[in-house]
Structure 1
């Protein structure tokens, strides 16, 4: 397997030159000199943009318009913390509602089980007499209602209102309930849309959490698992899980569900990959379900991912501060460890540490990331923003670095869901301690942004050097769950893309030298 830390988060110009030479064919001396000249010009130009300009009335600020343009041009590598349903924009979902002939409720009606701005998909309710349920064209013609729908289905305009609002984290997770009825309408079409958006911002790889793993029930064994508690010894846990796992392994219905899940994934991604873009999938389960459903889903996810070049990893999702998620957190991590023994080739990227002080009791801040790394064996951690509150955080930082575990940084969603202010975000800490991390988008459709914007925030707020910025992009491929062969190919492709980008950036910087600055 390729060594992930070939490109650390901080490195010298010499090491980058050596990397470029090893990842590209032998070139003439003048070409290498041109590459190095473009690299240095890009470093200088980028440094000017993030440092900004001083004035007599205010401190220096990054030149955000120019920096945004440069980050749009920047090769992105991959986006490896990505939720499919939360990344499709509401406008596309509305197109699908119209195509299916569904409607959307204008007002609440508890008796008829009609909820404002929710999609109606039941055939018996899609009748002309249902005047409360509007077609998409009617909604789009009503500017007020249309805007209100976008606000409910995403975070649009949330910051412009201070009254009659649910908390931001609740609003964020509520959005999925509005479009969930249409999210699986045409997954292949949705992935094609996301692919085109990704390629438009110079991204070459997407690793997305597409659909949850199937669940199979066994009343007796499920009840036995649901009766387990955190005080149960590990031998008893393993015995109960082994019985359920053996049942799932041999039950025809359970195996058919897993096979159908794998085949459906293949159909979902048909025609997505091309010479310049690759897509892979993570399977996942909810962390706010019963213990038996979580275990059953995890078994299916592990089984689907083992030896599968398409479903490359397993995750666990949902509000980490939910009552069930907090109660069963340690048990969930033990489940991952148990199933990892049965399915040793499965890769793990786990949401952990998506918590902030005051959101939960202090004791819940002290172990989530450590448990995900030490017990579950996670290779990547999604969010990881409460690390500073973990017990012995300095030791945990050192262990994450030693294990080469990458942290998936989602600046926009961390700020919205957790209220994580820019100067308090631990990404600055990770930079100083050279802990590996990647920049990712999380749920761009809900957040109304894209991966380029996340890089704008990273560059403008924390002002990493250009070499560090570039290393962070390469990390998105190095820490991906691509096969070794695909990873090598994508690193070579990314290297070439950076050569072209730096040539363009150098040309842009040169043109500005002859322009009088305001």
Structure 2
């Protein structure tokens, strides 16, 4: 045998065990996937799904990302009370207009209280010692037990958004500590990546040389007038030293908050955001600082707009807000947009209020993702809009728990199957898990029990949450590689479980 033939034979012999090992690994993974699919299918079979077993399945299931996540609404009340205790704050037991106090509100300056206020402001230890007051506080600072005493509470949407006014005073206690707390909770349910909204972009209010440019626009302003006002406002903000310093300070807060959070099994990024229920000049300044922040730090991967979409200002200025996004997108085309849009139902606003919000977010603002998207069936030319969302694509962030609570939309009334039928990508997310007292595992469980997808579809949703994240391509690939490993481990584990009795 010639020397080169000997070398070829030797190399083939050495390669055979490796190839066999790879084949065996692939065969084992296929078997584990099949066993996991069969196990999951069995849990869904019958007139009533096996919810207890499915809960275990959902908790163990690897989740790629939570892409619609509000930091302050993610912290549970019990943790906020721990922080209030550490800060030495107290909480008012009563409302008294004369004293200017409201029951369940936090007093952040107890050392400066009058004797009258001290008499009705409970320390956190006193709050916890009074079981009746404590339990009622939980129902004011979150949606806990709402259905058990619905007639004693405000309407669901107001109840939900009012909670932020209670715990807001302690939400910035220690961002780094809080994010590590959220990380630990995420890892406990096998979640690898999170995009959260920590703080809104800094804004300017009542600045004589700036505010009138947008605030004095007439309701019937022409496109040219709007464009001129946006250009002048943009130039002012770009050249204003105070605004530029506020952006630097904003980024420093995020950098400090993120210290030590990322590791080999978890990654965190931020979305800057603006509130939609302020004067036009305030919204635009906050939007400008958010866009700039997203161009200056890899930690800030996109921009959002938040707040009750049915608010008077939000409805009145919706089209103007979309034009603001479009204008800034032209200045900063690399910035990604995930926008709350269509978080409305018939009756919450007049019918015409349901016809254009998702469309304008997509076609005017240039949204990459839509948060909620509930009113899609009421949009003008909805079929054409769905086709456009599929083609671009524009991903919908589906929040089953908050949609059911705030809007009363669930089961077959929810448009998630409508999006799926039209090929529009969607992902599952939590929204405000502290307020809703849920987590991402619960969202997967709800999706599974309500709509009964097969296991392959459930797995795809986990991968899609990474694919439609705003991470750069290299980090996205890292997350997918991690997810591959985690799913291989999960499926091997499920394949080894005892089968449920038939």
TM class, shorter-length: over 0.9
For the 8 Å contact 2:398–2:426, the answer to whether it is kept is yes
- Aligned residue for 2:365, secondary structure, equals coil
Cα drift, residue 431 of structure 1: 2.1
Structure 1 residues 157 and 403, CA gap change in structure 2 (3 angstroms)? same
For the 8 Å contact 1:282–1:313, the answer to whether it is kept is yes
1:4-41 C-alpha deviation (Å, 9 max, x unpaired): xxxxxxxxxxxxxxxxxxxxx99611110000011111
Matched, 1:168 2:162: no
Q: Match for 2:122 among 134, 154, 158?
A: 134
Structure 1 residues 27 and 445, CA gap change in structure 2 (3 angstroms)? farther
The aligned runs of 1:79-478 (5 Å cut-off) are 79-126=66-113, 130-217=118-205, 218-478=207-467
Gaps of 5+ in 2: 1-18
For the 8 Å contact 1:397–1:435, the answer to whether it is kept is yes
Relative to structure 2, which stretch is displaced further, 485-494 or 161-170? 161-170
For the 8 Å contact 1:206–1:278, the answer to whether it is kept is yes
Tell me the TM-score normalised to structure 2 length.
0.94
Cα drift, residue 442 of structure 1: 0.3
For the 8 Å contact 2:213–2:233, the answer to whether it is kept is no
Larger RCO, structures 1/2 (Cα 8 Å, 6+ apart): 1
Structure 1 residues 26 and 348, CA gap change in structure 2 (3 angstroms)? farther
- Aligned residue for 1:77, secondary structure, equals strand
Matched, 1:33 2:27: yes
- Aligned residue for 1:354, secondary structure, equals coil
Instruction: Work out the CA distance in 1 between the residues paired with 2:342 and 2:491.
Output: 36
1:154-176 C-alpha deviation (Å, 9 max, x unpaired): 00000111323210000000000
For the 8 Å contact 1:102–1:126, the answer to whether it is kept is no
For the 8 Å contact 2:142–2:434, the answer to whether it is kept is yes
Tell me the TM-score normalised to structure 1 length.
0.91
For the 8 Å contact 1:440–1:454, the answer to whether it is kept is yes
Structure 1 residues 296 and 40, CA gap change in structure 2 (3 angstroms)? same
Instruction: Work out the CA distance in 2 between the residues paired with 1:118 and 1:397.
Output: 44
Cα drift, residue 216 of structure 1: 2.3
Q: How many matched pairs? A: 482
Instruction: Work out the CA distance in 2 between the residues paired with 1:274 and 1:246.
Output: 40
1:167-186 C-alpha deviation (Å, 9 max, x unpaired): 00000000000000000111
Structure 2 match to 1:5:
none
1:232-255 C-alpha deviation (Å, 9 max, x unpaired): 122211111111111111111111
Structure 1 match to 2:39:
45
For the 8 Å contact 1:81–1:382, the answer to whether it is kept is yes
Instruction: Work out the CA distance in 2 between the residues paired with 1:484 and 1:196.
Output: 26
Instruction: Work out the CA distance in 2 between the residues paired with 1:355 and 1:427.
Output: 15
- Aligned residue for 2:193, secondary structure, equals strand
Instruction: Work out the CA distance in 1 between the residues paired with 2:352 and 2:293.
Output: 35
Structure 2 match to 1:9:
none
Instruction: Work out the CA distance in 2 between the residues paired with 1:305 and 1:368.
Output: 24
RMSD (Å) for aligned C-alpha atoms: 1.4
For the 8 Å contact 1:151–1:158, the answer to whether it is kept is yes
For the 8 Å contact 2:270–2:300, the answer to whether it is kept is yes
Instruction: Work out the CA distance in 1 between the residues paired with 2:21 and 2:292.
Output: 46
Structure 1 residues 354 and 149, CA gap change in structure 2 (3 angstroms)? same
Structure whose alpha-carbon radius of gyration is higher:
2
Structure 1 residues 366 and 482, CA gap change in structure 2 (3 angstroms)? same
For the 8 Å contact 2:81–2:124, the answer to whether it is kept is yes
Instruction: Work out the CA distance in 2 between the residues paired with 1:437 and 1:501.
Output: 23
- Aligned residue for 1:503, secondary structure, equals helix
Q: Match for 2:63 among 60, 76, 92?
A: 76
